[in-house]
Amino acid sequence: MIFYFTGTGNSLYVAKKIGDELGEHLIDITAAMKEKSFVYRFSGDEKIGFVFPVYFYGVPSIVVDFIAELKIEQNLEEEVKPYVFGVVTCGGGIGGTPKMLEDLLEKQGLPLSAVFELKMASNYIMMYQPTGPDLQKRILISTDKKLADIIAAISKNKQDEGSKRKKTFLTRVAYPLYVHGRKTRLFYADEKCNGCGKCEKICPVSTIQMANNKPVWTAKQCTHCSACINRCPQKAIQYGKKTLKWRRFENPILK
């Protein structure tokens, strides 16, 4: 079973490839959170995976909240220790995310076997202009190659070396900015908004609600996945002023 979270499709692309190749079914963390589905039964012949984007060199808040509630049940007579893996998609690097994921899963009694980093297009439009189409194509070629190696490693139950979990500096510096940031204050819909309501539907944390045919951000913070702004068909959602001129990013798997 592969638990995945995605804002703009990269992590879904990865989860689906791993699931298809290894015959593991996918569980959408967004849907699970909305339905409050936290209890899953593990059968000895499957693996347990977590696929999600890195945010500020750490784990997205929705994934943190999901893992905190997660309960994996196993038949007592089956004493198979699950192979637990993470694949973290990123635009540049994942810093101390492996250690953070290890700590979160340990609390749920799930020892993490291996974490893999996978560089893909960057969607972080609230900070930078997302990766352009030419570079996206080039990145995808290397992503697919690396993903094939990752799938081979997962299929052989490869274990991490301890050193991989020690690079925590970037996370210690950057992640608190996410915890205390991820504000919704700067999001708004401009005059291009035609009230289609897609943003309300795709918001993973149900922060957006339509009022008078315009989106309203109803909480002070959200998970900051960038789906509303990147996936708006009219490019009508903005974050402050700088996104007015910037391109949007959406992995073709969502189109």
Ligand X SMILES: Cc1cc2nc3c(=O)[nH]c(=O)nc-3n(C[C@H](O)[C@H](O)[C@H](O)COP(=O)(O)O)c2cc1C
The footprint of ligand X (CB under 6 A) covers 6-11, 53-57, 89-93, 120-124, 224-226, 251
Burial code of 21-33, b = ≥16 C-beta within 10 A, e = fewer? eeebebbbbbebb
State the Cα–Cα distance between residues 25 and 113, nearest whole angstrom.
19
- Give least dist CB 7 to ligand X, A: 3
Minimum CB distance to ligand X smaller for 53 or for 215: 53
- Taking the complex as a whole, the smallest distance from the CB of residue 184 to ligand X amounts, in Å, to 12
Q: Which is nearer to ligand X, 10 or 238 (CB)?
A: 10
The distance of closest approach from Cβ of residue 138 to ligand X in the complex, given in angstroms and rounded to an integer, is 15
Measure the CA–CA gap between 125 and 56, rounded to whole angstroms.
13
**Tokens in use for 164?**
């991989």
CB nearer to ligand X: pick between 56 and 66: 56
Nearer to ligand X, 50 or 124 (CB): 124
Cβ atoms of residues 94 and 64 within 8 Å? no
Taking the complex as a whole, the smallest distance from the CB of residue 139 to ligand X amounts, in Å, to 10
φ, ψ of residue 152 to 5 degrees: the values are: -60, -45
Beta-ladder partners of 183: 221
The phi, psi pair for 74, rounded to 5°, reads -140, 145
Farthest CA pair distance, the chain: 61
Least distance between ligand X and beta carbon 77 (Å)? 38
Shortest Cβ 75–ligand X spacing (Å): 33
Q: How many residues does the chain have?
A: 255
**Considering beta carbons, is residue 84 or 227 the nearer one to ligand X?**
227
| Token pair of 224 as six digits | 């900051």
- Residue whose CB is less far from ligand X, 30 or 113: 30
